[in-house]
């Protein structure tokens, strides 16, 4: 649905450009091998099989939409022929047909990792150096000279190819060693873990002693999705389950941060997939309209708590989902091409808060209203208050007296796929609808 001939292509990249965010992460993924892998067949003595037709079709749109902002590029899907498999892995000829069995094998056929690193050298050169020379000495001209400030090495290696920390670290080191020769200024991000329940991966990867000479982990990344606790849960349950699982994740973040600060204090952290997942990627069951709001509210909560912990970047996942491709993770309405509430929550936060803001002590007289999360900020544009209603009910309370005349911007169940609603407060009383994310800007 992000391809050039998609009915929502133009709206999608217009929405991405309008966000104006940095650290936009782009990950062509294995369910679409022709859109993710540049060399789908191994070279022979007479021919090579490099093809960037489908890779280029969306890379160009991404780079245009993020012009002036930083991107994190991750061509995470490795050619499956580089892995030892029981038989040759076939893939659909149709580049837009999802195929979930491409990532096979747990051992590289070249255990030195040089073959895999050479693939990424050529792919990286295609996008940054105008082209590359293939295995038979032929030059392939691209005309691309993109600046790539961040490159992430593979995606969720704890799931994809089921890598051990030792194997992943060897792959990371070999790829980074070779790509640094091409682009010394690019910073490299490692791990990109789906789950962080096993700290041994972080203990191993962040320990300088486990890396080859000259390779220092510059950044790490990992992910979180809140999910229902059992089949059949609905919005009335999500209000508890999603936030409870988010809180449990934040406890793990604190633990990982202790490891990072002990072993690699100069390594930055980006938690670059944050969202909720209801079911499998193939689900087409109608999704409750309030779901997008509770998912957005949970992201706002995690964003706030990661800010308190000093995490460098918090990436909401994902821009476009649709039936067969995790529709419940989308920030776009795949039927209309309009951004949904998850998108508008991200834009609300990005428009109002940023680096250098000061968080100040925040409290309610008489205790917090049930389910309300709040945080006051001193920003370059004045004093602001972030309010999150994590419950499926309206809540009313009074703000400080100086709220009279303040501007209220809010995403809630009434705004749906529309931009945040804006109003001027006539007194100190405020009502938050279910799953509201609101910003009060004081005069």
Q: How far apart are CA 328 and CA 276, in angstroms?
A: 7
- Pair of tokens at residue 408: 């209220």
d(CA 145, CA 198): 39
Residue 300's pLDDT is: 98
Q: State the pairing for strand pair 71-73/407-411.
A: unpaired
Cα separation, 317 vs 336, in Å, equals 19
Rounded alpha-carbon distances, angstroms, from residue 181 to 30, 141, 176: 27, 20, 9
CA 21/CA 279 separation, integer angstroms: 29
CATH class, domain 359-441, is mainly beta
d(CA 420, CA 412): 8
DSSP 122-174: HHHHHHHSSEEE-TTS-EEE-------SEEE--S-TTTTT---HHHHHHHHHH
pLDDT at 374: 96
CA dist., res. 193 & res. 73, Å (int): 16
Render each residue's pLDDT in the chain as its tens digit; 443 residues: 999 999 999 999 999 999 999 999 999 999 999 999 999 999 999 999 999 999 998 999 999 999 999 999 999 999 999 999 999 999 999 999 999 999 999 999 999 999 999 999 999 999 999 999 999 999 999 999 999 999 999 999 999 999 999 999 999 999 999 999 999 999 999 999 999 888 999 999 999 999 999 999 999 999 999 999 988 899 999 999 999 999 999 999 999 999 999 999 999 999 999 999 997 776 657 899 999 999 999 999 999 999 999 999 999 999 999 988 899 999 999 999 999 999 999 999 999 999 999 999 999 887 889 999 999 999 999 999 999 999 999 999 999 888 999 999 999 999 999 999 999 999 989 999 999 999 999 98
Residue at token pair 């509770």: 294
Nearest Cα to Cα of residue 56 among 118, 111, 104, 2: 2
Nearest to 310 by CA among 353, 272, 257, 347: 257
CATH code, residues 9-353: 3.20.20.80
409: which residues sit within 8 A by CB, 6+ positions away? 348, 352, 420, 421, 422, 438, 439, 441
| Confidence at residue 283, expressed as pLDDT on a 0 to 100 scale | 61
> Can you read off the two tokens belonging to residue 93?
């000829």
**pLDDT for the residue numbered 367:** 81
Domain positions in the chain: 9-353, 359-441
């Amino acid at each position: 649905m992000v391809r050039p001939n998609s009915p929502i292509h133009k709206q999608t990249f217009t929405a991405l450009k309008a966000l104006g965010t940095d650290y936009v992460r782009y990950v062509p993924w294995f369910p679409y091998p022709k859109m993710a892998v540049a060399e789908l067949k191994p070279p022979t003595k007479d021919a090579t099989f490099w093809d960037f037709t489908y890779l280029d079709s969306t890379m160009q749109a991404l780079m245009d939409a993020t012009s002036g902002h930083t991107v994190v590029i991750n061509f995470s899907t490795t050619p499956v022929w580089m892995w030892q498999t029981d038989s040759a892995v076939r893939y659909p000829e149709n580049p837009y047909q999802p195929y979930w069995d491409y990532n096979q094998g747990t051992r590289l056929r070249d255990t030195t990792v040089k073959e895999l690193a050479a693939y990424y050298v050529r792919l990286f050169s295609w996008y940054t150096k105008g082209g590359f020379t293939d295995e038979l000495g032929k030059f392939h001209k691209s005309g691309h000279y993109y600046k790539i400030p961040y490159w992430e090495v593979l995606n969720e290696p704890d799931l994809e190819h089921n890598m051990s920390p030792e194997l992943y670290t060897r792959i990371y080191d070999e790829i980074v060693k070779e790509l640094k020769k091409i682009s010394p200024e690019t910073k490299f991000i490692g791990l990109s873990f789906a789950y962080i329940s096993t700290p041994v991966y972080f203990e191993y990867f962040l320990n300088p002693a486990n890396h080859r000479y000259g390779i220092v982990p510059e950044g790490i990344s990992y992910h979180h999705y809140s999910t229902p606790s059992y089949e059949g849960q609905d919005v009335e349950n999500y209000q508890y389950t999603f936030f409870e699982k988010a809180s449990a994740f934040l406890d793990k973040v604190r633990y990982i941060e202790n490891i990072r600060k002990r072993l690699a204090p100069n390594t930055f952290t980006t938690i670059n997939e944050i969202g909720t997942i209801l079911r499998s990627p193939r689900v087409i069951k109608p999704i409750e309209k309030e779901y997008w709001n509770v998912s957005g509210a949970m992201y706002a909560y995690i964003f706030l708590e990661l800010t308190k912990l000093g995490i460098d970047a918090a990436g909401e996942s994902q821009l476009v989902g649709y039936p067969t491709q995790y529709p419940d993770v989308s920030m776009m309405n795949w039927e209309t091409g309009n951004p949904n509430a998850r998108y508008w929550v991200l834009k609300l936060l990005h428009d109002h808060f940023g680096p250098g803001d000061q968080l100040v002590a925040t409290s309610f007289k008489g205790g917090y209203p049930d389910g309300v999360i709040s945080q006051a900020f001193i920003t370059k544009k004045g004093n602001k208050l972030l309010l999150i209603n994590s419950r499926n009910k309206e809540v009313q309370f009074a703000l400080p007296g100086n709220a009279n005349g303040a501007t209220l911007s809010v995403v809630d169940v009434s705004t749906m796929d529309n931009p945040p609603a804006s109003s001027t407060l006539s007194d100190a009383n405020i009502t938050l609808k279910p799953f509201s994310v609101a910003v009060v800007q004081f005069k």
